[in-house]
Amino acid sequence: MTTTTEDVPLVHASLGERELAAVAEVFASGWPAGQGPKGKALEARLRQDHGVGDAVALSNCGAALHLAMLALGVEPGDEVIVADYTFPAPAHAVRYVGATPVFADVRGDTGTIDPRAVADLISARTVGVIAVDTVGLPADYAELTALADRHGLFVVEDAACAVGATYGGRPTGALAPVACLSFHGRKGASSGEGGALLAADPVIGAAARLRSSFGIGSIYDQARAAGLPIPSFTEIGHNYKLSDIAAAILLVQLDRVGELLERRSAAAAAYGLLLADEELLTLPHVPADRTHAWQSYLVTLDPRVDRSGLAAALRAQGIGCGHGTWACHVQPVFDTGRHCPVSADLFRRNLAIPMHAELRPDQIERVAEVLRTELRNNLRPN
């Protein structure tokens, strides 16, 4: 039995001296802004790691999703089917271009978009599907790709949580023709904020890169051209560039992805052993054809457990926890009247417990021990 009473945070970024040294190098270079040498090096690294035609470093994953919709030509009147159980960034991106997000329910065992639900939602207005690698677990891309090919739809992979995971031996970010990554503070590779768009077709990447910089391309490149080139604004773009400061941090983080994922995977395995026989919760399920990035560790509580009371009890003892992610269709901004029962159920019953690469074995033991006790202390009366 553990005796430590120190706080165990829900998340903790693994940033250290190597990342600080990389930032100092950028400061000395005189170019901290976007699309400079570090940004170009990061894009080259992402292209190499994922085997894609192009990679565009961006300010966040939401920007990547927005640019993906623009590059794929999504217009007002179109419908895009989106995974319901997720942070609602995909649905926001569809709304940004005036199209309609149509929420698809998810699998009860994985929380990823259910291909059968997608099939039932395809209409004459459907142009594509945004699948989500839910909290780090890849979706069913074989089925989704086959379905999309039959109906002439695009597939976008929202791999925001899944850097380092695999599906059928292939890395996330390369599981659909267009993929979007996040480098937010709780992701497997982090620069605090940041993202990227990966595209099999370099034409899509070039369109996204141009629109990420107000439609005029790299100021860094223009400043180094002979003479005085004056760019023309030919379309409305956005300021979605990733700073070279963040890009430098990410170049270090990408070197560490394997190490950090190994530590998170060890933490997940330890939770699995410590909680395997706990009847008041269900552990995460990882199908045999894929691996998990473990951005989060979600347990599904027995319906008898009062989740709010349990969370309050855990936090009172210094153990971080959260609700998991969102059932988008119940959010007021997306009130469409459609019901996704599996997603709604997971939204009510999932609980995130501490998961990050800095967790120690004694902390994991303490989380499991306190969780077991408080599950029973927070049962609803019959």
Mutual angle of helices 61-71 and 202-211, in 10-degree steps: 120
Active-site option among 38, 40, 187, 241: 187
Backbone dihedral angles phi then psi of residue 283, each to the nearest 5 degrees? -80, 160
Whether 40 is a known active-site residue: answer no
Residues taking part in catalysis: 187
